[in-house]
Amino acid sequence: MAYEHSINNDRCKGCGLCVTVCPKNVLEISNKVNAKGYFPAFQARPEDCIFCALCCTMCPDVAITICEIETEATGKT
Ligand code: SF4
Ligand code: SF4
């Protein structure tokens, strides 16, 4: 099963808790301001994400979601 990690830029207040908790050093704080005037977190190294969900659990603003995504059946076993 594949997963998709997403951060809602406009919910994020840039507290950095998710950056600190990530065991794979995937996240960083952006230098671009969001609609509320905060610098949001983003996945700087998405290829390293193991979808452990620690960042989602830690975020006080529920800005991070991890969803299962449909993958094409390949027929391979
Ligand atoms: S799901 Fe885990 S590995 Fe991926 S960004 Fe969040 S804390 Fe880091
Ligand atoms: S923990 Fe949530 S609010 Fe804080 S920087 Fe990460 S995504 Fe943004």
12 in any annotated domain: yes
Which pLDDT band holds residue 75 (cuts at 50, 70, 90)? low
> CATH number, domain at 31?
3.30.70.20
77 in any annotated domain: no
10 in any annotated domain: yes
Atom of ligand 2 nearest to the CA of 62: 2
Would you state the pLDDT for residue 73? 66
Would you state the pLDDT for residue 29? 98
- Give residue 66 CA to ligand 2 midpoint distance, Å: 14
Which of these ranges, 8-17, 27-36, 67-76, has the smallest mean pLDDT?
67-76
> pTM value?
0.90
74 in any annotated domain: no
75 in any annotated domain: no
Query: Total domain count for the chain?
Result: 1
Residue ranges lining ligand 2, Cβ < 6 Å: 7, 12-18, 40-41, 58-59, 61, 63-64
Would you state the pLDDT for residue 71? 81
DSSP letter string, 1-70: -EEEEEE-TTT-----HHHHH-TT--EEE-SS--TTS---EEES-GGG-----HHHHH-TT--EEEEEE-
